[in-house]
Amino acid sequence: MTALNWLPPGKKAAVCFTIDDVHPGKSSDAYEAGGDLASGALGHVAWLLDRHPQLQTTLFVTADWREINPAITRRSLAKLPFIRDRVFLSDILPAGTMRLDRHPGFVAYLKSLPRTDVALHGLYHVRKGPHIATEFLDRSRAECTAMLAEAISIFRKADLPYAPGMCPPSWAFSSDLGEAMVANDLTFVASARDIRTAIAPDAMTAMSGLRGVSLIYPEIIQQGKLIHFTTNFQATSSLDRAIEIVEMNGLLAIKAHIIKNGCGHIALDGLDELYRNYLDLVFSELEQRYGNSLWWTSMAEITAHINTTHQPQTEDLELAAHDA
Ligand SMILES: [Zn+2]
């Protein structure tokens, strides 16, 4: 683990809030994923931002979302070796249906949200073969580079500015994906979720995505070229867990998913009214306990802070070499 000096002077710990799977899907589509604007799940985000003037959010947005169902629906095809890896095993949307540049009202709404970053969450959020949403899994560096370039070109065409980072769908990270991110000038990645491991300064991730990275501190990975952030808190986590992270001078990295009900698959951390109200309570408690000693920030802001203040030491680079 790096001994990163990542907190600004006067700050004891930090909080950031990120939301995955945001795309223009409406309640009349397979998923409401932000497309209903203020009257849908993004309205909960706007409500939290309004009630907590220090809060920042990062929306991880998919450039051309094509997933309709997170589960395999073509079950007979899924049984055929060779074939199953070469076809879509779930129904998908035609390319371009949810492409950001075709939804200017959605883009305008994202841009209107205060203190909100948009960052990348894959190109289509779906792939051929049994791992429906894990679109970067087993892809070569060249394939990942091309997919990210395509995603970025869609953000540009949509005139939607993006923060230089990504949460890869299904948390799947590889060294090839890391190099592809660097080649596309991305500087941070959030590819681990661990809401089970007990909080401790030396605790390492052991749940979804990248394992063996710090549970509560930003960390330099990919031979010094990317900053990694671990999600360590969600709807099912206790207030005590949040306080432990703050007391250990960590980054409380809270995750929500914009889709609560995906074809009957209920997300535990889907952003509904209940989760919104719980977060309201957690944020109020943190504000009351810690006041200005808490840095309400974003992954992009922490990354920029680290990259302007941190002079990489050889030791860091060696330690950071375990990029999964
Ligand atoms: Zn996702």
Q: Is the pLDDT of residue 6 over 80?
A: yes
Question: What is the structure's pLDDT at 88?
Answer: 82
Distance 204 CA to ligand 1 centre (A): 23
DSSP letter, residue 214: B
Distance 257 CA to ligand 1 centre (A): 8
Task: Quote the pTM value.
Answer: 0.93
Distance 30 CA to ligand 1 centre (A): 15
Distance 280 CA to ligand 1 centre (A): 24
pLDDT tens for 63-118 read: 999 998 878 888 887 888 888 888 887 888 999 999 999 999 999 999 999 999 99
Distance 217 CA to ligand 1 centre (A): 23
Question: What is the structure's pLDDT at 317?
Answer: 52
pLDDT tens for 22-49 read: 999 999 998 999 999 999 999 999 999 9
Distance 284 CA to ligand 1 centre (A): 28
Q: How far apart are CA 186 and CA 43, in angstroms?
A: 28
Distance 21 CA to ligand 1 centre (A): 5
Q: Which residues pair with 57 in a beta bridge?
A: 17, 116
Q: What percent of the chain has pLDDT over 90?
A: 80
Closest by CA position to 190, among listed 168, 212, 164, 175: 168
Distance 50 CA to ligand 1 centre (A): 26
61-75, 150-164, 198-212, 284-298: least confident range: 61-75
Overall average pLDDT of the 190-215 stretch = 96
Distance 258 CA to ligand 1 centre (A): 9
285 is written with which tokens? 């408690």
Q: Is the pLDDT of residue 144 over 90?
A: yes
Distance 170 CA to ligand 1 centre (A): 6
Q: Is the pLDDT of residue 169 over 90?
A: yes
Question: What is the structure's pLDDT at 312?
Answer: 58
pLDDT tens for 281-291 read: 999 999 999 99
Q: Is the pLDDT of residue 1 over 50?
A: no
Overall average pLDDT of the 301-316 stretch = 78
Overall average pLDDT of the 171-190 stretch = 97
What's at 54, amino acid-wise?
A: Q
Question: Which residues, including other chains, have CB under 8 Å from residue 173's CB and lie 6 or more apart?
Answer: 136, 189, 191, 192, 209, 210, 324
- Better-scored residue on pLDDT, 227 or 129: 227
> Does residue 283 contact residue 296 with C-beta atoms inside 8 Å?
no
Q: Is the pLDDT of residue 173 over 90?
A: yes
Overall average pLDDT of the 216-229 stretch = 97
Q: Is the pLDDT of residue 2 over 50?
A: no
Q: Is the pLDDT of residue 324 over 50?
A: no
